[in-house]
Amino acid sequence: MSRRERKKRETRARLLAAAGQLFAERGVDAVPIKEITDTADVGFGSFYNYFESKEALYDALVDELYEEFGTALDRLTRDIEDPAEVLATSVRLTLRRARRDPQWGRLLLLEAQKISGATRGLGPRLLRDIRAGISTGRFTAPDPMMSFVVVGYGALGGIATQIQAATDSTMLAAIGISAEALAERNAAALLHALGLDFAEAQRVANSPLPEMTGAFEAFE
Protein backbone atom coordinates (compact mmCIF):
# COMPACT_ATOMS: atom_id res chain seq x y z
CA MET A 1 0.00 0.00 0.00
CA SER A 2 1.38 3.39 -0.97
CA ARG A 3 1.73 6.24 1.50
CA ARG A 4 -1.10 8.11 -0.24
CA GLU A 5 -3.46 5.13 -0.04
CA ARG A 6 -2.60 4.61 3.62
CA LYS A 7 -3.33 8.27 4.38
CA LYS A 8 -6.70 8.06 2.57
CA ARG A 9 -7.63 4.98 4.55
CA GLU A 10 -6.65 6.66 7.82
CA THR A 11 -8.66 9.78 6.97
CA ARG A 12 -11.72 7.72 6.10
CA ALA A 13 -11.37 5.83 9.37
CA ARG A 14 -11.19 9.11 11.32
CA LEU A 15 -14.37 10.35 9.66
CA LEU A 16 -16.17 7.12 10.50
CA ALA A 17 -14.95 7.19 14.10
CA ALA A 18 -15.98 10.82 14.58
CA ALA A 19 -19.39 10.19 13.03
CA GLY A 20 -19.94 7.12 15.20
CA GLN A 21 -19.23 9.11 18.35
CA LEU A 22 -21.43 12.06 17.40
CA PHE A 23 -24.30 10.04 15.93
CA ALA A 24 -24.41 7.85 19.05
CA GLU A 25 -24.65 10.94 21.24
CA ARG A 26 -27.20 13.01 19.29
CA GLY A 27 -28.53 11.10 16.28
CA VAL A 28 -27.78 11.58 12.60
CA ASP A 29 -30.04 14.55 11.86
CA ALA A 30 -28.65 16.70 14.68
CA VAL A 31 -25.01 16.41 13.61
CA PRO A 32 -23.77 18.69 10.78
CA ILE A 33 -21.01 17.53 8.45
CA LYS A 34 -18.80 20.41 9.66
CA GLU A 35 -18.86 19.04 13.18
CA ILE A 36 -17.87 15.60 11.91
CA THR A 37 -14.91 16.97 9.96
CA ASP A 38 -13.83 19.18 12.88
CA THR A 39 -13.94 16.22 15.27
CA ALA A 40 -12.00 14.08 12.79
CA ASP A 41 -9.53 16.93 12.15
CA VAL A 42 -10.27 16.76 8.43
CA GLY A 43 -10.90 19.69 6.10
CA PHE A 44 -14.59 20.24 5.34
CA GLY A 45 -14.04 20.07 1.59
CA SER A 46 -12.17 16.80 1.92
CA PHE A 47 -15.30 15.10 3.27
CA TYR A 48 -16.72 14.73 -0.22
CA ASN A 49 -13.63 12.89 -1.40
CA TYR A 50 -14.81 10.02 0.80
CA PHE A 51 -18.60 10.25 1.06
CA GLU A 52 -21.30 11.74 -1.15
CA SER A 53 -23.40 12.83 1.82
CA LYS A 54 -23.90 12.44 5.54
CA GLU A 55 -26.36 9.64 4.79
CA ALA A 56 -23.71 7.82 2.76
CA LEU A 57 -21.33 8.14 5.70
CA TYR A 58 -23.97 6.71 8.02
CA ASP A 59 -24.59 3.80 5.65
CA ALA A 60 -20.87 3.05 5.52
CA LEU A 61 -20.71 3.17 9.31
CA VAL A 62 -23.59 0.71 9.65
CA ASP A 63 -22.02 -1.64 7.13
CA GLU A 64 -18.69 -1.55 8.92
CA LEU A 65 -20.10 -2.06 12.41
CA TYR A 66 -23.04 -4.40 11.95
CA GLU A 67 -22.48 -6.28 8.70
CA GLU A 68 -19.05 -7.26 9.98
CA PHE A 69 -20.48 -8.33 13.34
CA GLY A 70 -23.36 -10.19 11.68
CA THR A 71 -20.98 -12.05 9.38
CA ALA A 72 -18.90 -13.06 12.39
CA LEU A 73 -22.04 -14.33 14.15
CA ASP A 74 -22.93 -16.35 11.05
CA ARG A 75 -19.52 -18.03 11.10
CA LEU A 76 -19.73 -18.72 14.81
CA THR A 77 -23.18 -20.34 14.67
CA ARG A 78 -23.02 -22.13 11.32
CA ASP A 79 -22.45 -25.56 12.88
CA ILE A 80 -25.21 -25.21 15.50
CA GLU A 81 -28.22 -27.32 14.49
CA ASP A 82 -30.75 -26.08 17.05
CA PRO A 83 -32.42 -22.84 15.83
CA ALA A 84 -33.14 -21.86 19.43
CA GLU A 85 -29.46 -22.09 20.33
CA VAL A 86 -28.51 -20.09 17.23
CA LEU A 87 -30.87 -17.29 18.20
CA ALA A 88 -29.87 -17.36 21.87
CA THR A 89 -26.17 -17.25 21.00
CA SER A 90 -26.67 -14.27 18.71
CA VAL A 91 -28.75 -12.39 21.28
CA ARG A 92 -26.31 -13.10 24.10
CA LEU A 93 -23.27 -11.97 22.12
CA THR A 94 -25.03 -8.87 20.79
CA LEU A 95 -25.95 -7.78 24.31
CA ARG A 96 -22.46 -8.55 25.57
CA ARG A 97 -20.97 -6.46 22.77
CA ALA A 98 -23.27 -3.56 23.64
CA ARG A 99 -22.32 -3.83 27.29
CA ARG A 100 -18.61 -3.60 26.50
CA ASP A 101 -19.07 -0.89 23.87
CA PRO A 102 -22.02 1.38 24.74
CA GLN A 103 -21.42 3.57 21.68
CA TRP A 104 -21.89 0.49 19.49
CA GLY A 105 -25.11 -0.25 21.37
CA ARG A 106 -26.43 3.30 20.98
CA LEU A 107 -25.81 3.20 17.24
CA LEU A 108 -27.65 -0.12 17.04
CA LEU A 109 -30.63 1.48 18.82
CA LEU A 110 -30.43 4.36 16.33
CA GLU A 111 -30.38 1.99 13.34
CA ALA A 112 -33.39 0.11 14.71
CA GLN A 113 -35.48 3.28 14.36
CA LYS A 114 -34.95 3.28 10.60
CA ILE A 115 -36.82 1.13 8.10
CA SER A 116 -33.45 0.01 6.74
CA GLY A 117 -32.75 -1.65 10.10
CA ALA A 118 -34.99 -4.55 9.08
CA THR A 119 -33.27 -5.03 5.74
CA ARG A 120 -29.57 -4.88 6.54
CA GLY A 121 -27.11 -5.67 9.31
CA LEU A 122 -28.52 -7.78 12.12
CA GLY A 123 -32.22 -7.44 11.25
CA PRO A 124 -32.38 -9.88 8.31
CA ARG A 125 -30.33 -12.41 10.25
CA LEU A 126 -32.76 -12.33 13.17
CA LEU A 127 -35.72 -12.82 10.84
CA ARG A 128 -33.91 -15.69 9.12
CA ASP A 129 -33.28 -17.43 12.45
CA ILE A 130 -36.89 -16.97 13.57
CA ARG A 131 -38.18 -18.41 10.30
CA ALA A 132 -35.81 -21.37 10.63
CA GLY A 133 -37.14 -22.10 14.11
CA ILE A 134 -40.77 -21.88 13.00
CA SER A 135 -40.21 -24.05 9.92
CA THR A 136 -38.68 -26.85 12.02
CA GLY A 137 -41.32 -26.60 14.74
CA ARG A 138 -38.80 -25.50 17.35
CA PHE A 139 -40.64 -22.20 17.70
CA THR A 140 -44.43 -22.37 17.94
CA ALA A 141 -45.10 -18.67 17.38
CA PRO A 142 -47.21 -18.58 14.19
CA ASP A 143 -46.27 -15.20 12.70
CA PRO A 144 -42.61 -14.71 11.71
CA MET A 145 -42.86 -10.96 11.13
CA MET A 146 -44.60 -10.17 14.42
CA SER A 147 -42.18 -12.49 16.18
CA PHE A 148 -39.37 -10.49 14.57
CA VAL A 149 -40.86 -7.29 16.00
CA VAL A 150 -41.31 -8.77 19.49
CA VAL A 151 -37.90 -10.43 19.67
CA GLY A 152 -36.04 -7.59 17.96
CA TYR A 153 -37.41 -4.91 20.23
CA GLY A 154 -37.05 -7.19 23.24
CA ALA A 155 -33.34 -7.49 22.52
CA LEU A 156 -33.07 -3.74 21.92
CA GLY A 157 -34.77 -3.17 25.27
CA GLY A 158 -32.05 -5.27 26.88
CA ILE A 159 -29.39 -3.18 25.17
CA ALA A 160 -31.04 0.07 26.29
CA THR A 161 -31.19 -1.25 29.85
CA GLN A 162 -27.49 -2.09 29.80
CA ILE A 163 -26.55 1.33 28.47
CA GLN A 164 -28.60 3.11 31.10
CA ALA A 165 -27.21 0.87 33.83
CA ALA A 166 -23.68 1.85 32.81
CA THR A 167 -24.36 5.36 34.12
CA ASP A 168 -26.70 4.32 36.96
CA SER A 169 -25.23 1.44 38.93
CA THR A 170 -28.31 1.15 41.15
CA MET A 171 -30.83 0.65 38.34
CA LEU A 172 -30.31 -3.05 37.68
CA ALA A 173 -30.15 -3.83 41.39
CA ALA A 174 -33.46 -2.05 41.88
CA ILE A 175 -35.17 -4.35 39.37
CA GLY A 176 -33.39 -7.48 40.57
CA ILE A 177 -31.07 -8.10 37.60
CA SER A 178 -27.30 -8.34 37.55
CA ALA A 179 -25.39 -6.90 34.59
CA GLU A 180 -23.58 -10.21 34.18
CA ALA A 181 -26.82 -12.19 33.83
CA LEU A 182 -28.84 -9.74 31.74
CA ALA A 183 -27.88 -11.20 28.34
CA GLU A 184 -28.88 -14.73 29.34
CA ARG A 185 -32.11 -13.64 31.00
CA ASN A 186 -33.01 -11.58 27.96
CA ALA A 187 -32.33 -14.50 25.62
CA ALA A 188 -34.43 -16.85 27.78
CA ALA A 189 -37.38 -14.46 27.79
CA LEU A 190 -37.22 -14.09 24.01
CA LEU A 191 -37.10 -17.86 23.46
CA HIS A 192 -40.10 -18.21 25.76
CA ALA A 193 -41.94 -15.61 23.66
CA LEU A 194 -41.24 -17.77 20.61
CA GLY A 195 -42.92 -20.74 22.27
CA LEU A 196 -40.30 -22.63 24.24
CA ASP A 197 -41.22 -23.86 27.70
CA PHE A 198 -39.54 -21.44 30.10
CA ALA A 199 -37.37 -24.10 31.72
CA GLU A 200 -36.16 -25.15 28.27
CA ALA A 201 -35.64 -21.52 27.29
CA GLN A 202 -33.49 -21.00 30.38
CA ARG A 203 -31.47 -24.12 29.63
CA VAL A 204 -30.74 -23.04 26.07
CA ALA A 205 -29.98 -19.44 27.05
CA ASN A 206 -27.46 -20.58 29.65
CA SER A 207 -25.80 -23.34 27.62
CA PRO A 208 -22.07 -23.00 26.88
CA LEU A 209 -21.28 -20.62 24.06
CA PRO A 210 -19.36 -21.89 21.02
CA GLU A 211 -15.59 -21.64 21.15
CA MET A 212 -14.84 -18.04 20.31
CA THR A 213 -11.87 -16.55 18.53
CA GLY A 214 -10.91 -13.15 17.21
CA ALA A 215 -13.33 -10.34 18.02
CA PHE A 216 -15.49 -12.61 20.18
CA GLU A 217 -12.76 -13.70 22.60
CA ALA A 218 -13.44 -10.70 24.86
CA PHE A 219 -17.08 -11.78 25.28
CA GLU A 220 -16.38 -15.07 27.03
pLDDT digits (tens, 9 = 90+) for 143-186: 999 999 999 999 999 999 988 887 777 877 787 888 788 999 99
Q: Which residue has the higher pLDDT, 217 or 59?
A: 59
Cβ atoms within 10 Å of 147's Cβ, excluding its own: 22
Give span(s): CATH 1.10.10.60, the chain.
Answer: 1-51
Task: Give percent of the chain with pLDDT exceeding 90.
Answer: 72
CATH topology of domain 1-51: Arc Repressor Mutant, subunit A (1.10.10)
Percent of the chain's residues with pLDDT above 70: 95
Which residues make up the CATH 1.10.357.10 domain(s) of the chain?
59-209
- Whole-prediction pTM: 0.87
Please state, as a whole number, how many other Cβ atoms lie within 10 Å of the Cβ of residue 105: 23
CATH number for region 59-209:
1.10.357.10
- pLDDT band, very low/low/confident/very high, at 214 (cuts 50, 70, 90): low
Average confidence score pLDDT of the chain? 91
Q: What is the pLDDT averaged over residues 38-44?
A: 95
Q: Tens digits of per-residue pLDDT, 58-85? A: 999 998 888 889 999 999 999 999 999 9
